[in-house]
A and B are shown apart, each in its own frame.
Chain A
Amino acid sequence: MAAPQSRAAGGQWHKHLLLSPPLAFFAAFALFPLGFTIYVSLSNWSITGEHRFIGFGNYATILASDTFRQSFLNTVVFAVVTVLLQYVLGLTLALLVYRSTRGQSALRLLLLVPMMFTPVVVGFVWKTLFDPSYGPISWLFDRVGLPQVPWFSEQLPAMAAIVIADVWQWTPFMFLILFAALRSLPTAPLEAAMVDGASGRRLLFDHMLPMLLPASMTAILLRSIEAFKLFDVVYLMTGGGPGVKTSTVTLSAYFTGLRSGDLGTAAAMTTMLLIVVLIATMVLLRLLFWAGRRRSRADDAAALQVERDDVPDPTEAVDAPVTTEVR
């Protein structure tokens, strides 16, 4: 039947034509910048515009650079620590609000407020809060009798301050997703677990958390992608300092590319980051897929397949199954 096929092919062709504007946009705004960045990372492009292809030279340079290595390590540490803290806090808050019988909607709204600030404001506010000389936190430490912490002049306190600011801003995101997931959990298995003798902590760890797994993975995935690109809060609070002790890959790329004018090296840095994010995303997506598949309802075809695989009960041999008689 040639006619319907050629018609189908014609339909395909039309589809492609109709899809071409968005595809062109995608090419122009996503693929081109990506390809261009990779090209730049392989050249010695500087802000003055002169450039020459130099292969993997930039990559060799950054891998040998202590600054980049420090920035890279910081980025990973920030991503892991902030996302984990955000998850634990978000989950705790979601459970608390879920259990609370009163004021749920008010609490929900209040908890979302930090997410509505732009990162610039968040960075500025927390920088002020942590300021060693006039910041309220230093004042509070003083009042309570705790020793003064050199918030921005030593690596660990500075990193802690950044983590706190980022966690403050993004915990609401985790809270929101996990709270919605909690609300949509089926109640019957939880009731069954209670009747079967589980309570409190066991109910949470044996039943609620496993059932929350797909939502948890999704939230963690989304936050992780963002966390690897951490920039604004660091830029505003410490500027990467002291020295480059709190610098991140994005910050490092910014200074190298736009401040020092070495676009090639900066592009190599962002490409490295892209590769890492890609790998992390792939691993998390795998986990998410796996978690989702374990729970998903078998579709009808699969269920029928399952039925046919049933081992026939030997005691039922007397009543031969109807199907064998038909055959």
Chain B
Amino acid sequence: METLTVTGVTKTFGGPRPAVDELSFTLGGGEFGVVVGPSGAGKTTLLNMIAGLVPPDTGEITLDGASLAGTAPERRDIAMVFENYALYPHLSVRRNLEFPLRAPVRRGTLSRSQITDRVTQVAETLRIPHLLDRLPSQLSGGQRQRVSLGRALVRRPRLLLLDEPITHLDAKLRHEMRTELKRIQRELGVTTLYATPDQSDALALADLVVVLDAGRAWQVGTAADVYERPANVTVARTLGDPRINLLPGRRDAAGVTVLGQRVDADHGPAGPVTVGVRPGDVELSTEPLAGAAAGRVLLAQTLGYQDVVYVDVEGATVRATVPAGIVARPGDPAWVRLPAARLHVFEAASGQALRHREVV
């Protein structure tokens, strides 16, 4: 159960801004950490620095209290699933999976039959036993990804790094693998850091979420923390699907004005604010409603179990989710009400949270 700490880590590749900028967080022993952020956020760079493949410019990374600086990648005992699989092209799937167990640093720790058992077991978990004698070039993308995952899970590393390990799987398999991954991680009790652009991975898996964007950690906390109490607009935007509504508003001593309506929330010094409200919290009606702003339906999408309705209100687009089956056609008039208790309020200029939605 190794604790991972990252303190003030910065890496610049020569571009105008650092790929990873003054990043700090602590991942407790045996915890599942998820780094979530869009493409180019610096996730791979962070993982590479922890694995020892890229040296950080400044800052310190420790594992189990000891600094990793100066320890070569092969001596760190960290397993990693690479974004582009990085399978050994000249070795069969079986040999790929065996390699970490046969590597020089671990030579002699496992017997031949133990290695075979481990490989068989991992292959079964990942549903690839029938592929063991193929070469990586003979596999589909999703199959390669599973082999890559297997190569990391076959040993008992001190730390497991996963760089978008399941993004190339079909939706059904992705969900199964996600559950499976969580189960394996629990069973092994291995400290795990998982990088993904998919916010639902973060919410489903994480003990600790690091919201990364443009190299900076915008918030570090539990899934509930980052979802219920986003520290800033970036975090609010990253988590939640469909995306949170971020609407321009004004705040004064009497409350907040948004969509031309006065909402009795967050009294404070006058100034522009950004109001955030999750689509599920928006009240949508096809009839006029007290305290609601009038608008027009732009588009309705169904997700099966619910519909997402896009409503144009005074030039702003508001997303609202409604139970499936409520018919909304483009052009229909609609009324939108934002309940005061459900609003997040952010300072307009800095994006810092002033007030969070009340949890019921």
Contact = CB atoms under 8 A, between A and B. Distances in A.
Categorize the interface residue count of chain A: 20 to 34
Interface string B41-74: 0000000000111000000000000000000111
B146 to A, nearest CB: 12
Given A189-B88, A202-B104, A211-B89, A311 B135 contact: no
Interface in A152-188: 186, 188
Contacts of A310: 130
Contacts of A186: 86, 89
Given A211-B89, A296-B137, A196 B79 contact: yes
A207 B88 CA distance: 8
B353 interface: no
A298 B131 CA distance: 14
Contacts of B86: 186, 188-189, 191-192
B72 A303 contact: no
A197 B103 contact: yes
A197 B105 contact: yes
A306 B134 contact: yes
A325 interface: no
B74 A198 contact: yes
B138 A213 contact: no
Contacts of B104: 197-199, 202
A191 B53 contact: yes
A197 B74 contact: yes
Contacts of B79: 195-196
Interface string A306-321: 1100110100000100
Given A294-B135, A295-B137, A306-B134, A199 B88 contact: no
A294 B127 CA distance: 24
Contact of A196 (B72, B90, B100): B100
A157 B105 CA distance: 45
A193 B99 contact: yes
Contacts of B172: 319
B140 interface: yes
A33 interface: no
Given A191-B82, A194-B53, A307-B140, A210 B103 contact: no
A310 B132 CA distance: 12
Contacts of B84: 188
Contacts of A191: 51, 53, 73, 82, 86
Contacts of A307: 140
A321 to B, nearest CB: 12
Interface in B134-163: 134-135, 137-140, 151
B87 interface: yes
A196 B99 CA distance: 7
B243 interface: no
B78 interface: yes
Contacts of B20: none
Interface in A183-231: 186, 188-189, 191-199, 202, 206-207, 210-211, 213
B80 interface: yes
B106 interface: yes
Contacts of B138: 298, 302-303, 306
B74 to A, nearest CB: 4
Specify which of A194, A207, A296, A310 lies most central, judged by the most chain B CB atoms within 10 Å of its CB.
Answer: A194
A315 B330 CA distance: 44
A324 B322 CA distance: 36
A70 B82 CA distance: 57
Nearest to A302: B138
A190 to B, nearest CB: 9
Interface of B: 51-53, 72-74, 76-80, 82, 84-91, 99-100, 103-106, 127, 130, 134-135, 137-140, 151, 172
The 3 closest A-B pairs by CB, nearest first: A197-B103, A188-B86, A192-B86
30 contacts: A186-B89, A188-B82, A188-B84, A188-B86, A189-B87, A189-B89, A191-B51, A192-B86, A192-B151, A194-B52, A194-B53, A194-B74, A195-B78, A195-B79, A195-B80, A196-B74, A196-B79, A196-B99, A197-B100, A197-B105, A198-B99, A199-B74, A207-B90, A211-B90, A213-B90, A295-B137, A306-B134, A306-B138, A306-B140, A313-B127
Given A197-B103, A295-B89, 4 more contacts: A189-B86, A191-B51, A199-B104, A310-B130
